[in-house]
Structure 1
Amino acid sequence: MRRLPPFVPSCALLSAVFLPNLAQAAPPADGAPPVERLPTVQVQAARVQQVEDVDLPASLTTVWLDDEANGRLAQLSEALGGIPGVVARDRQNYAQDTQLSIRGFGARSTFGVRGVRVLVDGVPATMPDGQGQLSHASLLSAQRVEVLRGPFSALYGNSSGGVVQVWSAEGAADDPWRLRLDTGSDNTLSAGAQLRGQQGPIRYNVAANHFRTDGWREHSAARRESLNARLGADVGGGQLDLVLNYFDSPDAQDPLGLSRAQVNADPRQATSVATQYNTRKSVRQAQAGLVFTRTDGAHTWRAMGYAGQRSVEQFLAIPPAPQANPLHAGGVIDLDGDYGGVDARWSWHGDWAGRPLDLVIGANADRQAQDRRGYENFVGDQVGIKGRLRRDQADRVENVDQFAQAWWQWAPRWSLLLGVRHSTVRFRSNDHYVTAGNPDDSGSRRYDATTPVAGVVFRASDAWRLYASAGRGFETPTFNELGYRADGQAGLALDLSAARSRNLEVGSKWHAQSGAQVEAALFRADTDDELAVASNSGGRSTYRNIGRTRREGAEARYAQPLGTQADLSLAYTWIEATVRDPYPLCGSSGCTTVAAGARLPGVPQQQWNVRLQYRPGPWQWAAEVVASSDTVVNDLATEKAAGYALLNLEVARRWSTAQGTLRAFAGIDNVLDQRYIGSVIVNDGNQRYFEPGPDRRYSVGLQWQWAP
């Protein structure tokens, strides 16, 4: 696909930013507008409650999930597809979970989520080191998903190139209960139940889900069980919420990536070593969180505490020969640990100089204690089983943060949002596996950062806002990135520095009373000491700092009601993610140089999403086009995943009865049966970069909803 010159998308976006409703931007002829007080607000870090998103100097998109959603509700990627700036790739590999990046941050991750902050009902799903996961977030119980991009993400602390928050619905009297069943291609089944309502003083939302699939590719079968609950009550003059989560995914098969030749021969195949070593991953997690919020006049107090346990066992395709090295950590990863934290904040709403002012001051501390063991993945001639112990260490990471934020409507048309956060992140590893050939590799590292942000909003008219924001962010290496040294020696990569970024954004938001919306933004993020993959082979990734990088681009979103029965939405992203400093790249065949201006791998330059929905009476019809430009897969850009465009169709029918509402739904994904690469493995050492997307897929489902 031919690359657009940088000024083309920028000019097109600027037209969308500044042309709508120019006449409305002019002040009335009779002079300045009257003083208008915006709604009463309650400030949280990086978010101002009771103030519409349109009045914030940030790119914040909220996806509302109602009871008429189609699809399996099995992965968070189902809710993130139409958000500009977001790449959420279903990898067809449940051992590695969804691949998520926001404006290019997090694109290097080969598994899990890095560089992006994730929270579920206010409880962090990202550990203190910046490693996160999406697997336990339940769309069945969720009411909405919020995605924050740009400078104000930094107010969430370490590794906040963007923020994804999933919020469960709060139970209320007369809420319906529902049962849901979905089945489709590859013997895929998703069955769930949601009980939501209020019993006496207790508000409840409990959702349980069972999911299984044989997988589209060979050796990609998986099973998942999840339970999510939110229980709330009015206690002590405030609101107390208990959030519970349980997730179990045993022996999810990992088909690994494919080379270009393998994709061309058979995109459904698994790499031969995947079946030889039975590559697989098991995850089990249980956690609980308690949130208390009380408002007393102008003051609001909020306290949150959470704790959980998580265990991971992963079998890799590493041959026995490399494990003969006494420094090798083996071919089985076994992680078992506890985590938890607290968050306390106070906010105040009042006036300063006769204008509305909101303040928030708070602090939080999080800790993860993880026992990391490594084992050989063979016993004698039998491979794919747990063998001798080769690594045993106790890893500890903790952060202590303080933050403050102020929002002030300092003039009738102007408001200001300021914030600052100070973070301290400490890593420590105690090595318990010490032999004659493997010395004590214990060590520690501390990272500190202060991240200020500021943004201003101009209210051009009742419907139109213009804004600008700037800030700083930082990202420490995760424990997984510190876990292996790029030189092949034992011990942690404690020489890695934290990446530091400077972020700018200007944008426009136009929200009409008719429901039409146009939002657009131009952004730039300059990063020093960028963390990048140094090697990726045999299930092991090592990392290094490569100097300066830049992510700049444009994004736009358009939503338009078409009468009372139809809706049209469009989302577009253009991003140029490049290296600013050249750096050497060395391998077995020698060294070469990655030149300044080279594209960062894993980041498509352009994305489009178009969705048309039509709801005549009890019917619902929808058509969606999802498109992406090519994606570079390695530092030298010698390989790319080609761009693609996919067409998806949905249909649903609702019947109302005295006993409740029955809803049937069906979908066809990739209607035109296109061959494409769904996701990539950045810098894979075996050049198996590609994870093919599925061909034409079918699904059908039923949902029964009734009043208890």
Structure 2
Amino acid sequence: MKILKEVLLIVTSLFTLNSFSQEIDNDLDSTIYLNEIIVNAFQISTLQLHVPGSVSVLTGEEIQITDGNNFAHTLHSIPGIYMHSGTYSTSRVIIRGVGSRTPYNTNRIKSYLNDIPITSSDGISTPEDIDLMGIGRMEVIKGPASATYGSGLGGNIILYTPRSTKEGAAALIQYGSFNTIKAAASGNYINQNLNLWGTISHVNSDGYRENNRYRRTSFISSGEWEQKDYSLEYTLMLIDLNAQIPSSVGKSLYESNPKAAAANWSAIEGYKKYQRAIAGVTLTNLFSDKWTNKLNVFGRWADSYERRPFNNLDDGTSGGGIRNRLSYHNNQWDAMIGFEWVKDVYRWKMDLENEMINKNRESRDHYNLFSMIYWRPASEWNISLGGAVNKVNYLLRDQFLSNGDQSGERSFPLIFSPRLGINYAPSQLLAFYGSVGHGFSMPSPEETLLPEGDINKELKPEQGVQYEMGFRLNLFRRATTIEASVYYINLNNLLVTKRLSEDIFTGINAGKTSHNGFEFLIKQKILRLSSFPGTLNLNANYTWSINKFVDFTDNDQKFDGNKLPGIPAQIAHANILWQPFTRLNIDTQLQYVGEQYMDDANSLINEGYFIANIRSSYSFSVSTNYNIELFTGINNITNAHYSPMLTVNAVAFGNAEPRYYYPGLPRHFYSGIKLFL
């Protein structure tokens, strides 16, 4: 209650400041300070105020105000999301408490780039691999609420490459602590109906910890050729990554020597490296002013190698698919029906001391038939009803027969995911919405297999239903935007990745969980002056949640009623952007992450922490065609000692401590220069 009172006090203070700024800013009486936002996340282009459900949007300007290397700093601008970030290449995204039990990656959400699925065939999403300069817009659907994007149980992260109506180019060079260097260049070419864009970037860092070197080169390009009745688009993404793995450490090292890597990973200089390629072509046909068809054809390829203390993993994926969406629009309703098919072949082999211990090949087919109707019986109402039917098949071929043939197949039953949403907007200043939606998550290959290597045919997909209600409010001629929502998610057949030994994992269905929460967001134009002190903007959010085991027994021990580990009960984030003069910007990020349990028994707690970052930039013109921006920043100003990522339910081997902690970066600096043409 104390925190809620503080939030209310802050909001009241902001309203007072806003009223003051309105009185002194006579030159801007007719200005609409915050532009209305168009969203596409529910497969319909409409004002965010009229969307029948919760969707968060980050514009390109909001994405670019961080150091450009840490994806977590960007995601935390959205309420309801927490990104565990152990290193640049080790992370886990949690949305509304879903996904906290995945050991070292994200596999309860689905990610898309320009409507092309980029989630791998084993369910792993790594949107953080995409350089932030390659993202012009981000839309996030939270929880099992989208029937049109594969019904991801945790939600969807939908990314779009930048689009510009003007030709131009930009280059960046940046240097920071731990010998971190970043170089990037981007450009946009326009010739009548042709619009081409691309960016290339390279990041190299020695890392704060031992065995922590990181190198990533990425190239992203997109383009569009428009004609009267159709348009043709393409998207291409290439990533080459090589990153050492310091892994997690026990409490003693975390407190006494956080720079240290785990001893077994350091001894072998463990690392992972991979190359990824995703390419897609989109054909949009305008059959009439009412009928539109959008067809995506895409291909995906990945090759990866990981050197580990217990064995070495060599794996890769090749595949592709199609996604088609037919839409109808008139003044009173919209209808959409679509189909998505993804075919991937996932192959992996393991060796230990140059001796092969297994080799497998798995084919996966995922079919998704989806449909959605939006009905507007009056201008104030927008009612959506839709659903998706999903079908998933696995076929495993054992290519290492020394321990017997463990080939098999698994065809999961049809899964139907309905969704209902209602939005009521009595004016352009206020809207109320409510929705209920179903979602699911399939087990990953590691979870699918039994310890002996056979397919577990009893393992069921994790499924859940989300109920949410909220409102959106615009005040003071849209100088203030407020959003608030409450939600409840009920999950069944909880998928738990169970660690049987240091190198053997398996999946089990372990009961039920419940996720309850409250999310609050405020965007505020505090000052809007043409001279000093200039403009002052605030983007702040707060998340409070309770995530519990409802029915969970493991090794004959009941955990009913316990909190789920790895999920902060409270998260508060504020972004304060001050522009005292036209050419000078000062951006401050403040974040508080509450305590979180580290094990199912709730016997260990990771203390909450507070971090603050600041970035300043100064822009000036060299000539009419050249502009330069100089920038510098400090992250973790207070030099807080904290762990931004946990290994939930870490297991101790031998006499070693259980390794729960990934130490966070201490105070560190960066500076750079951007050139705009």
Q: TM-score, normalised by structure 2?
A: 0.90
Contact 1:91/1:693, CA 8 A, preserved across alignment: yes
Match of 2:168 in 1: 176
Pick aligned residue for 2:431 from 465, 469, 481: 465
Partner of 1:309: 301
What is the 5 A alignment of 1:294-305?
294-295=285-286, 296-305=288-297
Change (3 A) 1:404 1:16: farther
Give the alignment of 1:439-478 within 5 angstroms: 439-478=405-444
Query: What's the counterpart of residue 496 of structure 2?
Result: 532
How far did 1:48 drift?
A: 2.0
Please name the residue that 1:627 is paired with.
592
User: How far off its partner does 1:239 sit?
Assistant: 1.2
Query: For residues 242 and 113 of structure 1, do their structure 2 counterparts lie closer, same or farther at Cα, with a shift above 3 Å needed?
Result: same
2:87 maps to which of 92, 108, 133: 92
Q: Say yes or no: does 1:48 pair with 2:44.
A: yes
Which amino acid in 2 is paired with 1:298? K
Q: Which of 363, 377, 395 lines up with 1:396 in the alignment? A: 363
What does the per-residue CA deviation read over 1:65-102, in whole Å, with 9 as the maximum and x for residues that have no partner?
A: 139934442343342121000112332252x3x32111
Matches within 5 A, 1:281-292: 281-292=272-283
Q: Residues 376-395 of structure 1: matches in 2 within 5 Å?
A: 376=352, 378=353, 387-395=354-362
Structure 2 CA distance for partners of 1:539 and 1:230, relative to 1, 3 Å: farther
Query: In the alignment, is the contact (CA less than 8 A) between 2:66 and 2:74 conserved in 1?
Result: no
- Structure 2 partner of 1:369: 345
2:550 corresponds to 1:555: no
What SS does structure 1 have at the residue aligned with 2:123?
coil
Distance 2:668 2:299 in 1: 39
Query: Which stretch of the first structure deviates more once superposed, 254-263 or 634-643?
Result: 634-643
Among 499, 504, 522, the residue aligned to 2:467: 504
Structure 1, residues 51-73: CA drift from partner, whole Å, max 9, x if none?
Answer: 11111121111111139934442
Q: Does the 8 A contact of 2:143 with 2:152 survive in 1?
A: no
Q: Is the 8 A contact 1:241 1:291 kept in 2?
A: yes
Which of 318, 323, 338 is the aligned partner of 1:338?
A: 318
How much has 1:548 moved relative to structure 2?
0.9
Distance across 1 between alignment mates of 2:116 and 2:265: 35
Q: Deviations over 1:142-166 (max 9, x none)?
A: 2111111144234322534211111
Equivalent position SS for 1:155: helix
Q: Find the aligned partners of 1:68 and 1:538 in 2 and give their Cα distance.
A: 38
1:270 maps to a residue whose letter is A
Distance in 2 (alpha carbons) for counterparts of 1:672 and 1:76: 21
Structure 2 CA distance for aligned equivalents of residues 275 and 562 of structure 1: 50
One-letter identity of the residue aligned with 1:657: V
Offset at residue 446 of structure 1 (A)? 2.0
**1:578, 1:598 within 8 Å by CA — same for their partners in 2?**
yes
Q: Distance in 2 between matches of 1:151 and 1:508?
A: 19
Say if 2:131 is the partner of 1:138: yes
Q: Within 1, Cα distance between the matches of 2:93 and 2:11?
A: 27
- For residues 512-531 of structure 1, what are the alpha-carbon distances to aligned partners after superposition, in whole Å with 9 as ceiling and x for unaligned? 33331100000000011111
Q: Which residue of 2 aligns with 1:280?
A: 271
Structure 2 Cα separation of the partners of residues 451 and 162 of structure 1: 13
What's the counterpart of residue 673 of structure 2? 702
Determine what percentage of the aligned residue pairs are the same residue.
Answer: 20
Describe the SS at the equivalent of 1:489. Answer: coil
Superposition pairs for residues 11-50 of structure 1, below 5 Å? 46-49=42-45
- Distance, in Å, in 1 between the alignment partners of 2:55 and 2:39 is 15
Following the alignment from structure 1 to structure 2, what is the Cα–Cα distance between the partners of residues 507 and 158? 21
Aligned length: 638
* Equivalent in the alignment of 1:521: 485
Deviations 1:355-395 (A, max 9, x none): x100001111001101111111x2xxxxxxxx111111111
Could you tell me how far apart the structure 1 residues matched to 2:255 and 2:589 are?
27
| In structure 1, distance between residues paired with 2:257 and 2:169 | 44
Q: Distance in 2 between matches of 1:125 and 1:110?
A: 20
Is residue 2:392 matched to residue 1:425? yes
Check conservation: 2:281, 2:297, Cα contact below 8 A.
yes
Tell me if 1:491 matches 2:454. Answer: yes
**Runs (5+) with no aligned partner, structure 1:** 21-40, 319-330, 379-386, 586-590
Match of 1:597 in 2: 561
Instruction: Report SS of the residue matched to 1:419.
Output: strand
Whole-Å separation in 1 of the counterparts to 2:416 and 2:635: 45
Question: What whole-Å deviation, never above 9, does each CA across 1:168-223 have from its counterpart, x for those lacking one?
Answer: 12243x33210011110000011100011313442111100000100111111110
Taking the aligned partners of 1:582 and 1:115, their CA distance within structure 2 comes to 19
For 1:580 and 1:667, the matched residues in 2 are separated by 45
Query: Deviation digits for residues 585-612 of structure 1, max 9, x if unmatched?
Result: 3xxxxx5x23211111211111000121
Amino acid paired to 2:158: Q
CA RMSD, aligned part only? Answer: 2.4
CA contact (8 A) 2:189 2:196 kept: yes
Residue 164 (structure 1) aligned with residue 129 (structure 2): no
Change (3 A) 1:698 1:16: closer
Equivalent residue, structure 2, for 1:31: none
Aligned counterpart, 1:210: 202
1:608 corresponding residue in structure 2: 572
Q: TM-score, normalised by structure 1?
A: 0.86
1:539 positional shift: 5.0
- Matched residue, 2:235: 243
**Partner Cα distance (1:304, 1:42) in 2:** 22
Residue among 516, 521, 536 paired with 1:566: 536
Deviation at 1:138, TM superposition (A): 3.0
